[in-house]
A and B are shown apart, each in its own frame.
Chain A
Amino acid sequence: MAAVFHPGHHELHGITVVVDTAGPEIYVGRCDDMDERQVILLDVDVHKDGDGGRSKAEYVERAAQLGVWKKFDRLVVPRAQVTSVKRLGEL
């Protein structure tokens, strides 16, 4: 496990994460911060289950190879919608 390089930030600060939700959306971006209310992502791509004929799993599999093209500079995902937050590099 890599060390935390920014004391005071969440342990995932600066790490590229996959944020899955209870809905059709799944996000890949660099975690800026997260708490009980929200997950704040930077340089974010979003995929909707089935878009382009790809499931969430297929989208993540592709993202894990070389990364994603960002659609948003910054995005806030309400924590209530989030079902999991995982490091892309570990998928």
Chain B
Amino acid sequence: MPYSELMVAPMRAELASIGFEELRTAEDVERFMNDGEGSALLVLNSVCGCAAGQARPGVRKALESAVKPDRLATVFAGQDLEATARARSYFSDIPPSSPSMALLKGGEVVYFVPRHRIESRSADEVAADLTAAFERYIAAATPA
């Protein structure tokens, strides 16, 4: 059962305020995912403080790096159910977890951070993980 929007709103805002497009419907997800140009980071946001409390600040720090994805989007697991299910259908070979993050390039998932690699880490460690992935998978394709 979804949480109250009053409770969730600040968690949505934490990503929206740094440039993430909120995908609230399955159609929103399809539009975003079918635009396979360039690189993209899709964050599956979550209420859970055990992990999401590190995920959102970690993402924010990672996006301060010189190399970052062209497009940013998020779905809220447990809240926007159809949007989340549709997003997960694009990487159906990966066990579902939230929060989690998918780095896409040309519409394909090239790197995935599952929940268990967030919940045991600090925001700095989450950021370092993401930054390394940006360098590895995006930097080579980014014009100087």
Binding site for B on A (CB under 8 A): 2-3, 5-6, 13-16, 64, 66-70, 87-90
- CB pair B120–A15 under 8 Å, yes or no, is yes
**Given A14-B119, A16-B119, A66-B95; 14 other pairs, CB 8 A cutoff:** A2-B121, A14-B49, A15-B119, A16-B116, A66-B94, A66-B112, A67-B95, A67-B97, A70-B95, A87-B119, A88-B116, A89-B117, A89-B119, A90-B120
In the complex, what's the smallest C-beta–C-beta distance from B115 to chain A, in angstroms? 6
B97 / chain A contacts, CB cutoff of 8 Å:
16, 67
Question: Which interface residue of B115, B121, B122 has the most chain A CB atoms within 10 A?
Answer: B115
Tell me the count of chain B residues lying within 8 A, CB to CB, of chain A: 19
- CB pair B50–A89 under 8 Å, yes or no, is no
In the complex, what distance in Å separates the CA atom of A12 from the CA atom of B38? 39
B114 an interface residue at 8 Å Cβ cutoff? Answer: yes
In the complex, what's the smallest C-beta–C-beta distance from B94 to chain A, in angstroms? 5
Q: Which 8 A-B pairs have the closest CB atoms?
A: A14-B50, A89-B120, A5-B49, A16-B116, A67-B95, A67-B114, A89-B116, A88-B116
B48 an interface residue at 8 Å Cβ cutoff? Answer: yes
